[in-house]
Amino acid sequence: EVQLVESGGGLVQPGGSLRLSCAASGFTFSTYWMHWVRQVPGKGLVWVSRINNDGSSTKYADSVKGRFTIARDNAKNTLSLQMNSLTTEDTAVYYCARAGLSTHAFDMWGQGTMVTVSS
């Protein structure tokens, strides 16, 4: 089955760190660019970060630049997001998403993992 499954969310104190993972299956992971998108419950979608297919190029939203690191392991079909210096503003559901091969559109999404930053 073609799917993305996120894990690693949870409750963390302000200033803390968390590492999210996204396991891909059912498709040739190493071919696709991958993204992280977050959503505060009840609010809209916000793009967070992207990585190209071989991991040599990354981009970040200004709100997370310098604090978050996106990475991938194509041998293990896994995408990750290392989140440091977390603030309450980072509380959200985090989705991993696959970008289509010939379009910037996100043609597959994981189910999301909730990150709560609170003392």
Partner 1 sequence: SDVLTQPPSVSVAPGQTARITCGGNNIGGTVVHWYQQKPGQAPVLVVYDNSDRPSGIPERFSGSKSGNTATLTVRRVEAGDEADYYCQVWDSRLNWVFGGGTKLIVL
Q: At its nearest, how many Å lie between partner 1 and the CB of residue 21?
A: 16
Query: Tokens at residue 36, please?
Result: 């992280």
Q: At its nearest, how many Å lie between partner 1 and the CB of residue 59?
A: 6
Those residues with Cβ within 8 angstroms of residue 56's Cβ, 6 or more apart along the chain or in another chain: none
Query: Tokens at residue 113, please?
Result: 């993992």
Q: Which one among 1, 56, 66, 104 touches partner 1, defined by CB under 8 A?
A: 104
Rg (CA), the chain: 13
* 103 near partner 1, judged by CB under 8 A: yes
* 46 near partner 1, judged by CB under 8 A: yes
Q: At its nearest, how many Å lie between partner 1 and the CB of residue 46?
A: 7
Binding-residue total with partner 1 (CB under 8 A) = 21
Query: Tokens at residue 45, please?
Result: 């979608």
Rounded Cα gap, residues 65 and 55, in angstroms: 17
Burial of residue 31 (CB within 10 Å: 0-12, 13-18, 19+) is: exposed
* 44 near partner 1, judged by CB under 8 A: yes
**Which residues contribute to the site for partner 1 (CB under 8 A)?**
35, 37, 44-47, 50, 59, 61, 95, 97, 100, 103-107, 109-112
